[in-house]
Structure 1
């Protein structure tokens, strides 16, 4: 449980760093806001996590060892969604599936910052992919010098105590590299 809490805190930090670095250059290419998006349904309700949506830094080599995509619902950064994939052999345009305790390092994450008196007092996190009873499916449809595009779905579990789940459907994204 302690490791899960640490993972949630690290993932929130990673999303924050991605969000803050979204203003950096992307290799001289220009993109419009309509080309950058991360949307999905959570338990049937449509969400847009389009604020500061982006992917990890542009890979330094031809092999893409990890794909990190994240975005926030609004400028207040209270609700966010992120995807993490790590492949030592390199990511490709294909479908990846992680269920339960699979060895594949693929995670879908949904975060809600808990606020009190205008300050963050904690984070409610849902994680899916490698936790028992969860799953996450990621299809990379485009992996270019610009960034990454794809679709996703899954079943995420509340981190910590309890058996609360969030079902993710109709997920899609288009995220430029930092």
Structure 2
């Protein structure tokens, strides 16, 4: 599976364009908290450790997730992914992870719509600190290119190769300068 993330110059038109071509499967709210060992800063693009609170239909679940990532041609393949559901609330999970010697490095929330469109998965997300983005999942790069051409004809967009935590971290750094 190949994933690609897009950011739009005029995000107001994007959601209506997506809804005209597809249907919403579910709506969700997510909060991600990323950690790194104290005195180290992991590269989000290669390795990440986070807590994720995912709320769908009013039901919140908290997961502890570790990933080692390999990137190529605007797609990603996970070498290692470990995901464990926690019985705790997000803030309790944060305290547990900190007690293991990790520190919180970036936190953000996003509101999303999971859509089925043109035979594949699409995620429209309004991400705290960076705004709306769209993630498209398809089996081949050609299928992604076709979906972009059909769904976003006439809209200005950029393909975003960086991960969301990297973008949020940069956005927060720029705001504090």
TM-score (norm 1): 0.27
TM-score (norm 2): 0.27
For the pair shown, the structure with the greater C-alpha radius of gyration is 2
Identify which of structures 1 and 2 has the higher relative contact order when contacts are C-alpha pairs closer than 8 Å and 6+ apart: 2
When you count helix as a share of all residues, which structure comes out higher?
2
